[in-house]
Amino acid sequence: MFALADCNNFYASCERLFAPHLEGRPVVVLSNNDGCVIARSNEAKAIGIPMGAPYFQIEKLIRRHGVVVFSSNYTLYGDLSRRVMAVLAGFAPRYEVYSIDECFLDLFALPFDLTDYSLRIVRTVKQWTGIPVSIGIAPTKTLAKLANRLAKKGQSPAGAVLDWSRLLSPEQALASIPVEDIWGIASRSGARLRELGITNALALRDADPKRLRSIFGVVMERIVLELRGTSCLSLEIAPPPQKQIMVSRSFGDRLSAQDDLRAAVASFAARACEKLRSRRLHAQALSVFLQTSPFDTSRPGYANSLTIPLEAPSQDSHLLIGLALRGLERLYLPGYAYQKAGVLLLDLVPSGVQQGSLFAPSGADTVRSASLMAVIDRINHSFGRQALRFGSEAVSAQWRMRALLKSPAYTTRWAELPRVRAT
């Protein structure tokens, strides 16, 4: 049996945790650059604020209903996620952290009533972290997802927990779920399924898996089987090795000057290298991209990218920033209003086991590079990110994001700890 524990309106719940007076009020959290709505409290959903709505399009609605708005604060969400996962981990012999707010638990062979046990999990997570979660239980991951969804919609007599096997009519439940709400099906496949007359989860369950495989591929076949109770997706206890690292941002304002873009790309490359080293990986290729806004149809657009293979695997910021800037030079065209750029590190391999290069110099230089990077990382860890940085990053700060409504780093910065007063 799989149990899926999923935090309710996670980012909105995180914000409320340290602003309890917002309980019962509509709250939304915006994406980076205060662009789109990416989390909504139940009250905000009830008002009709859609997921992913651009902020500027719904500002009136937000003001009319007194919706409280936050910029995203990933430091806070990441830290609270870690705490929630630590609590969940104590309840199951095997578990898979699936996303920042979701965790699959293996409840197979536990000698308890699974609903009672899951209700205890929900209470404990709430009490120890302050974050509300819901749990769906089922014989496959896909059904556990659906069970969770139904629990969140108040369809379970047990409240925050729904066990699929206890449904009086699974057929009725499946029929109530639009095909696009199934895990792994989004608007495109959804539209094509609808053309075939398959509009809900029940119709998909009863469709011919081989036929759907020939039309959609193996992914759709697996979904059909999972809906029938045949488990095709197993618990991934150890995360598979990471294949790429990306750092990209939309700019607070459009950029045209090459120097501004250089500072942005250098900063992205430097940040990507920090991630690379903290995960003990080396990169074997680097890719740079930049683009104008895809939404701006009033002037000509431009988007391009370039991938540069490395002579030997590297984790050296100096080398990789240099390559990224050389890539940018080849991509950059004057006269455009750029909206976004990014750096990808590719073909990642574990540090220490990389294939050497027949041509690149090795030995003393790599040892020196590794020591230097370690010192930089240590200093930045002690004195704060960017305490020490590369000159090319500091040339311009024009690219900085907008984040006008950001809450404090309540749990990760001494200076921003919340104060509690007893009266």
Helix (H) or strand (E) holding 309: strand 303-314
In the complex, minimum distance from the CB of residue 21 to DNA, in angstroms, rounded to a whole number: 27
In the complex, minimum distance from the CB of residue 145 to DNA, in angstroms, rounded to a whole number: 6
Provide the sign of the torsion angle of the four alpha carbons 153, 155, 157, 161, taken in this order.
negative
250 vs 366, beta carbon nearer DNA: 250
Query: Could you tell me if 135 and 121 are in contact, meaning their C-beta atoms sit under 8 angstroms apart?
Result: yes
Helix (H) or strand (E) holding 151: helix 141-152
117 vs 147, beta carbon nearer DNA: 147
202 vs 245, beta carbon nearer DNA: 245
Angle made by CA atoms 343, 346, 349, in degrees to the nearest 5: 135
Concatenating the DSSP letter of every residue in 195-256 gives HTT--BHHHHHTS-HHHHHHHH-HHHHHHHHHHTT---S----SPPPP--EEEEEEEEEEE-
* Mutual angle of helices 187-195 and 209-216, in 10-degree steps: 120
In the complex, minimum distance from the CB of residue 368 to DNA, in angstroms, rounded to a whole number: 27
> Hey, what long-range contacts does 104-108 have (CB within 8 A, 24 or more apart)?
104/2, 104/3, 104/4, 104/5, 104/141, 104/144, 104/235, 105/2, 105/3, 105/4, 105/5, 106/1, 106/2, 106/3, 106/235, 107/1, 107/2, 107/3, 107/137, 108/1
Phi-psi region of 69 (alpha: psi -120 to 50; beta: other; left: phi over 0): beta
Query: Could you tell me if 164 and 138 are in contact, meaning their C-beta atoms sit under 8 angstroms apart?
Result: yes
CA atoms within 13 A on the CB side of 370: 13
In the complex, minimum distance from the CB of residue 422 to DNA, in angstroms, rounded to a whole number: 37
117 vs 220, beta carbon nearer DNA: 220
315 vs 339, beta carbon nearer DNA: 339
Query: Could you tell me if 10 and 70 are in contact, meaning their C-beta atoms sit under 8 angstroms apart?
Result: no
In the complex, minimum distance from the CB of residue 172 to DNA, in angstroms, rounded to a whole number: 22
In the complex, minimum distance from the CB of residue 200 to DNA, in angstroms, rounded to a whole number: 15
In the complex, minimum distance from the CB of residue 72 to DNA, in angstroms, rounded to a whole number: 8
In the complex, minimum distance from the CB of residue 186 to DNA, in angstroms, rounded to a whole number: 3
Cα dist. 177→85, 200, 413 in Å? Answer: 28, 5, 43
> By the criterion CB under 7 A, which residues form the site for DNA?
31-33, 35-36, 38, 52, 54, 56, 98-102, 145, 182-190, 217-219, 240, 242-250, 254, 275, 293, 295-296, 339-340, 342, 401
In the complex, minimum distance from the CB of residue 263 to DNA, in angstroms, rounded to a whole number: 15
371 vs 386, beta carbon nearer DNA: 386
